[in-house]
Amino acid sequence: MKTTLRVLLPVVVLLAACSNPTGQTQAQSVSGAIPDMPAPTKRAPADSASMKLSFSPVVKKAAPAVVNVQSRRVVRQRVDPFWDFFMGGGAPREQVQGSLGSGAIVRADGVIITNHHNIEGIVEGKGDITVQLADRREFPATVLLDDPRADLAVLKIDTKGEKLPVMAIDDQEQLEVGDLVLAMGNPFGVGQTVTNGIVSALARTDVGAADFGSYIQTDAAINPGNSGGPLVDMDGDLVGINTFIISRSGSSSGVGFAIPANVVRQVVGAALGGAHVVVRPWLGVKGQPVTGDIAKSLGMTAPRGVLIAQVYPGSSADRAGLKEGDVILSIDGRPVNDEGGGAFAIGAHKVGDRLPMQIQRNDREQTITVRADAAPETPAKDERAIKGDNPFSGATLVNLSPAVAQELGLDPFLGRGVLVTQIGQGYAMSAGLRPGDFVREINGRPINTVADVASATAGQARNWTVTIERQGQRITARLTL
């Protein structure tokens, strides 16, 4: 996530301490049951008196399952900062970057939950991840599943059969504002730390570094390096994963946010089920929060809900019969007051679930049933790495659909076309193509699918005319290879 820092203005801070050290896909929807994982218990503290005197019983239960996560990755940097589209520039060079964060052991055979941004960019042969246990032993880790949308990642270490201390994921805890919580982790690399506070807000969907979230807000001090560490209730169970803060200074003197346990369980369950991508239901609407003026014009007594401006054909909303001008008030009993709230309310369920939705239509409230369907993948993704003597050699392209947009964290209403997702070694790199570019024409031929690109670049040619779309602007360039 990119942020602009200004003096005395609040900023969102991902809680990984990053530095420069010296030196596809299977998809699965997730059920709530995860084998071989501990069930939450209600044993710590022993009594209310001991809790009032000390958080020690809670810490003793939870701390052995808190780990440190260190990653090193190789990144490619451009020498010329003004290198731009089709303008050439210095050749990229590789540089090693590091990240320091925290995590929690959620299964005794070495399954660990942490933040995506702690291990972002790690690919086989281009970086490594090291997990340090509470007893200071270190293990190399592999990534079972990386979920950028929720800013979560599931790691696995080889324990050689040893059973490790674990922390139960308590997604049944009915958190309330004012509940006591502990934030645990390894800030600044100084060793394990614990801070206490209260839950200061719930279901915060109007903040966040990820595009899928309904965060627990806490005033427990969270520092860089706490990222990926657990937010723990007074039973010693995991109720959230610390992920970012909003602060004027960038330090912990702000408010912290944690990913709730039900999302954590969803991601861990997908990883243990063998999936590499979490498939979440998609509502398929575009709208705006109901303001005071809008509420008055609709005859509502108070501003609430989301006014629908657009419904994607074939989406869950479309199949449920939602129309432009409807107001979504709640999904499965969860109030919906912005697009993020609607996305989370349906996305936290399993594909195929049927959920009650309360709406207002023509001055009358009614309840309809929506089926939680996955985002449509039409046209088929058809991801390809282009090869040969052409301007796209080294680029990876996909056909954009709502499913692909959701996977990439893009707006599913962005439209259709051929999207550049990665740039590797080849002509595409020197030509200045970037991830996020749409390919619109090649030598005057309209491009609608990846197959069109493959066909247009199959022949031998020295001169090329290429049109792309970048951030809504069409750019045409003539190249000689």
CATH number for the domain formed by residue range(s) 285-371: 2.30.42.10
The per-residue pLDDT for 110 is 96
pLDDT tens by residue, the chain, 481 residues: 333 433 334 445 565 444 444 444 444 444 455 777 777 776 665 666 655 568 899 999 999 999 999 887 655 554 444 444 444 544 555 555 556 889 999 999 999 999 999 988 776 555 689 999 999 899 999 999 999 889 999 999 999 999 999 999 998 878 999 999 999 997 666 778 899 999 999 988 877 656 677 899 998 888 778 889 999 999 999 999 999 887 666 555 568 899 999 999 999 999 999 998 888 999 999 999 999 999 999 989 999 999 999 999 989 999 999 999 999 999 999 899 888 888 888 988 999 999 999 999 988 999 999 999 999 998 999 999 999 999 999 999 999 999 999 888 788 898 889 999 999 988 998 888 999 999 999 999 999 999 999 999 988 788 999 999 998 899 999 988 8
In angstroms, rounded to a whole number, what is the distance separating the alpha carbons of residues 55 and 335? 34
349 is an active site residue: no
- Classify domain 384-480 at the CATH topology level: Pdz3 Domain (2.30.42)
The per-residue pLDDT for 83 is 45
> Residue 56 to residues 42, 44, 59, 190: CA-CA distances in angstroms?
15, 9, 5, 20
What is the biggest distance separating any 2 CA atoms in the chain, rounded to whole angstroms?
Answer: 81
Q: Per residue, what are the HEC states of 370-427? A: EECCECCCCCCCCCEECCCCCCCCCEEEEEECHHHHHHHCCCHHHCCEEEEEEECCCH
CATH number for the domain formed by residue range(s) 10-31+59-279: 2.40.10.120
Q: Which two tokens stand for residue 449?
A: 């699918």
Beta-strand pair 180-185/230-232: antiparallel
Q: What are the structural domain ranges in the chain?
A: 10-31+59-279, 285-371, 384-480
The per-residue pLDDT for 173 is 72
The per-residue pLDDT for 414 is 86
Measured CA angle at 114 (ends 108, 119), to 5 deg: 120
Q: Which two tokens stand for residue 72?
A: 């090193």
Q: Catalytic one among 29, 99, 116, 151?
A: 151
The per-residue pLDDT for 21 is 42
Is residue 363 classed as helix, strand or coil in its secondary structure?
coil
Which conformational region is residue 352 in: left (phi greater than 0), alpha (psi within -120 to 50 degrees), or beta?
A: left
The per-residue pLDDT for 251 is 58
116 is an active site residue: no
Q: Catalytic one among 117, 146, 170, 326?
A: 117
Which conformational region is residue 362 in: left (phi greater than 0), alpha (psi within -120 to 50 degrees), or beta?
A: left
The per-residue pLDDT for 259 is 93
Residue 231 pairs with which residues in a beta bridge? 183, 240
| 359 within 8 A of 344, measured Cβ to Cβ | no
235 is an active site residue: no
The per-residue pLDDT for 174 is 85
Does 384-480 match 285-371 at the fold level? Answer: yes
The per-residue pLDDT for 75 is 56
In degrees and rounded to multiples of 5, residue 330 shows phi and psi of -160, 155
| 292 within 8 A of 305, measured Cβ to Cβ | no
The per-residue pLDDT for 28 is 46
In angstroms, rounded to a whole number, what is the distance separating the alpha carbons of residues 318 and 132? 48
The per-residue pLDDT for 186 is 79
The per-residue pLDDT for 188 is 64
Task: Report the Cα 366 to chain-centroid distance in Å.
Answer: 33
